[in-house]
Amino acid sequence: MIFLLIGPPGSGKGTQGRILSEKMQLPFFSSGDFLRELAGKEDSFSRQIRLFMDRGELIPDTLMKELFLLEIKKLIVTHGGIIIDGYPRTLDQAKDLESLLLSLNISDSNIYVIELIVEVNELYKRLNERAFCPSCLRVFQFHENICNTCGTQLNRRTDDTMQVIEERLREYELKSRSLHEYFSNRGFLMTIPGEGSIQDIASTIDQAIKEKKVGINKK
Ligand code: ATP
Ligand code: MG
């Protein structure tokens, strides 16, 4: 099974993706984590990636296409499925991913797109208050100091500043918003309210997956 998490920055894709990954026993791929690791290196390619990320802009497809698709393909082939957070983010990326899934003989009934809906003021608040664990990459509120899973001192993301948050939300409206209609027309979309407790949202996702499966079996 293939699960794609979409929704604006701060909507909880990473948090819910990790929970789903444990439940489904499938690997978790975060485009943001993948890029942050690349951007942390000191070659010219990494420096280029870092420039876009620091401004809150998407990395152009010309730079990333092969790398993303290769990594995703590898994970699907070795584990039989995947949970993806943050890819696709544009219609072109969505089409590239669908071609890959087709080439791997994955049927439409095994593709689930989970869209998390969160009100914009809440997104600002969450991103402004966000910290992460540099070791296991889990997300926290920054008034917490230590990762509750591995005990590491928490950090803040350099793109979680007011100005860059605004740009990321603008990029989302401009380039990613249209994925809603695209995946809805393809029959893959499950729209989930992303406000409330983490556990409640996870249960709503579980329920939506079960209902979609029942719907598919009835066809
Ligand atoms: P969230 O708050 O849910 O983590 P986000 O968009 O704020 O979402 P990441 O997913 O961690 O943050 O992505 C961080 C940055 O990495 C983006 O601002 C963008 O520069 C780059 N990026 C991530 N995914 C993609 C992608 N699919 N295509 C192009 N650039 C991407
Ligand atoms: Mg994330």
Ligand 1: does its nearest atom lie under 6 Å from the Cβ of 8? no
Q: With 90 as the cut, is the pLDDT of residue 213 above it?
A: no
Ligand 1 pocket: which of 59, 117, 118 to mutate (most atoms <8 Å of CB)? 59
Domains annotated for the chain, with CATH where assigned, are 2-118+176-203 (3.40.50.300)
Task: Quick: pLDDT tens for 3-26.
Answer: 999 999 999 999 999 999 999 999
Chain centre distance of CA 118: 14
Average pLDDT over every residue of 57-74: 95
Determine the Cα–Cα distance for residues 98 and 108; give it in Å rounded to an integer: 10
Q: Is the CB of 56 under 6 A from ligand 1?
A: yes
| Per-residue pLDDT tens over the stretch 66-103 | 999 999 999 999 999 999 999 999 999 999 999 999 99
- The verdict on whether residue 125 carries a ligand-binding annotation is no
Q: Is 95 left (phi over 0), alpha (psi -120 to 50) or beta?
A: alpha
151 annotated to bind ligand: no
Question: Measured at the alpha carbon of residue 51, what is the angle toward residues 45 and 54, in degrees to the nearest 5?
Answer: 135
Overall size of the chain counted in residues: 219
Whether the full predicted model's pTM is greater than 0.85, yes or no, is yes
H-only helix segments in 10-90: 13-24, 31-39, 44-55, 61-79
